[in-house]
Chains A and B, each alone.
Chain A
Amino acid sequence: MKKKTVTSVAALAAIASGLVLAPTAFAGGASHGDAELHAMLSPVPTSKVTGSGTAMVHLKGNQATVTIKAQGLLAGAPHAQHFHIAGKGQCPPASAAKMHNGHLSLNTTDGLPFYGKIGASLTTSGDTGADHSALAVERFPMGASYTYQRTITVDDETAKELRAENAVVVVHGIDFNGNGKYDNVLGASDLDPKLPAEATDPALCGPLKMAPAGAVAGGMGGTQNGDTIALSAAGGLLAAAGGALYLRRRSSRQS
């Protein structure tokens, strides 16, 4: 029991000198203009897609480092992918689907009220603009599974919408009838009549949300009052009390 007493002494001394519970500061994301956003990519309802994916965006000013992992998409086909912005920051529900060429499905336009317009085209090279590269099929990732990573410059509105958690990652290109290729089962694309709707319909979707930054402060030290701790923390105290110690020991021995 007496061992523990010194612990208390140390704790007191530490409290007195303001050492206890000093909050540890971490570099917060938002305060420096940096933002880290994450998204889970899930199949768009009615798309018949069974794939999935993840997206991470690190935004520094207008520089966005984008990492997208996708899987379970139509193999051997290009998949257009974009930041969609200025909608509701959501993915469309099944109720947003309409009849297209006799099939209930969700084309890109059907989803606009939820994920919004295109803010940036996540191409593998060259331009990333919303206008000129939205359907640059030769510059989008190909295949059933891919990992995409690129640092791009986004415009001010897209940067603002990303920070406001009002941006959505959408990966396009579905195989509605499961025949292994883009065809006209759903008619022509609402974005470009020269392309089949399957090539541009949304496949995977995920709202980008701010991620936590830094370590957690998950301890107060209330179990750290053991001997070792006390000894080192109380080192100074013990030294200071050195003279008194000897006397005390002597007297207790004689009592």
Chain B
Amino acid sequence: MTGFRPRGRRSVYTAAATAFTTGALALLATAMTAPQPPPTPPASARTAPTAHSTVPQLPSAGLPRSEPAVISIPKIGLHTPVEKVARAGDGSIALPKDPDHAGWYTGSVTPGERGNAITVGHVDSEKGPAAFYGLGALRKGFPLTVTRHDGSTARFTVTGIEVWAKNAFPSQRVYGPTNTATLTLITCTGWDSTRRTYRSNLVITAQLTPS
């Protein structure tokens, strides 16, 4: 090989890899297809723990009870089956066993019913993007639908995007019952590259669209 090739970080990386060959080589194949970090929620979503909801709660009859089957958000290419989840030992909502599924918390109302229907999902697995990978790209006004086991479709509009630090999470605000048919979607955000964990939760709220 001859001639000028731009040298810089690329060479550095190569060298670093060489210095730690065995494992690096083993993982090279995976790394070559490594996915990009998830989309970032808007800056306005970064909240202070003291912030308080001022959204008026208007009466809403909502839909009859029916468990959710699929959540679809066409604008971000999200189409994911929903499985049931309960509380984990620490009191938090357990995540779905399948990272490509969303989880509906069975202690909450069903999506479309009056009240706060709570869903959770992984932003990524150990291998790559998971069910709620794209939630950071949601913006207020985006439509989303939940198809339900009774064959009906509950249509929602995104009304809230909030990011809360895990260590200052306002549980009552996020999980509290609502007088309107509300859908809450929660996933992780705020990657901490030092601790190699997500520091925050992204909390999306949506209201049932009058039909």
CB <8 Å contact, A219 and B129 = no
Docked CA distance A214–B93 (Å): 8
How many residues on B have C-beta within 8 angstroms of the other chain's C-beta atoms?
79
Q: Does A95 contact B (CB under 8 A)?
A: no
**In the complex, A233→B192 CA distance in Å?**
10
Q: Is B59 part of the contact surface with A, judged by Cβ < 8 Å?
A: yes
Q: Is B175 in contact with A234, judged by CB distance below 8 angstroms?
A: no
Q: Does A60 contact B (CB under 8 A)?
A: no
Q: Which of B165-180 contact A (CB under 8 A)?
A: 166, 169, 171-172, 175-179
Contact A7 B31 (CB under 8 A): yes
The 0/1 profile, CB within 8 Å of B marked 1, for residues 4-26 of chain A is: 11111101111000011110111
Q: Let me know if A129 is at the binding interface, CB within 8 A.
A: no
Is A211 on the interface with B (CB-CB < 8 A)?
yes
**Do A212 and B87 touch across chains, with their CB atoms under 8 A apart?**
yes
Which residues of chain A have C-beta atoms less than 8 A from B115's C-beta?
A: 40, 54
Contact A12 B90 (CB under 8 A): no
Give A237 to B16 CA distance when docked, in angstroms. 8
B132 on interface, CB distance cutoff 8 Å: yes
Q: Are A36 and B90 in contact (CB under 8 A)?
A: no
* Interface CB pairs A-B, < 8 A, 18: A1-B31, A3-B9, A3-B10, A9-B17, A24-B166, A36-B172, A38-B176, A38-B177, A212-B175, A218-B121, A218-B123, A219-B130, A220-B124, A221-B124, A223-B34, A237-B20, A249-B7, A252-B11
From residue B82, how far is it (CB to closest CB) to chain A in Å? Answer: 14
Name B30's closest neighbour in chain A (CB-CB). Answer: A8
Given A2-B14, A6-B17, are A218 and B37 also a contact pair (CB < 8 Å)? no
Q: List residues of A whose CB falls within 8 A of some B CB.
A: 1-9, 11-14, 19-22, 24-26, 28-31, 36, 38-40, 52-56, 58, 69, 71-72, 209-226, 228-229, 232-234, 237-238, 240-241, 244-246, 248-249, 252-253, 255
Task: State the B residues within 8 Å of A (CB).
Answer: 1, 7, 9-20, 23-24, 26-28, 30-32, 34-38, 57, 59, 87, 89-93, 95, 99, 105, 107, 109, 114-115, 118, 120-130, 132-133, 164, 166, 169, 171-172, 175-179, 186-189, 191, 193-198, 200-201
Residues of B within 8 A of A5 (CB): 13-14, 16-17, 24, 28, 31
B114 — which chain A residues lie within 8 A by C-beta? 40, 52
Neighbouring B residues of A253 by C-beta, 8 Å: 7
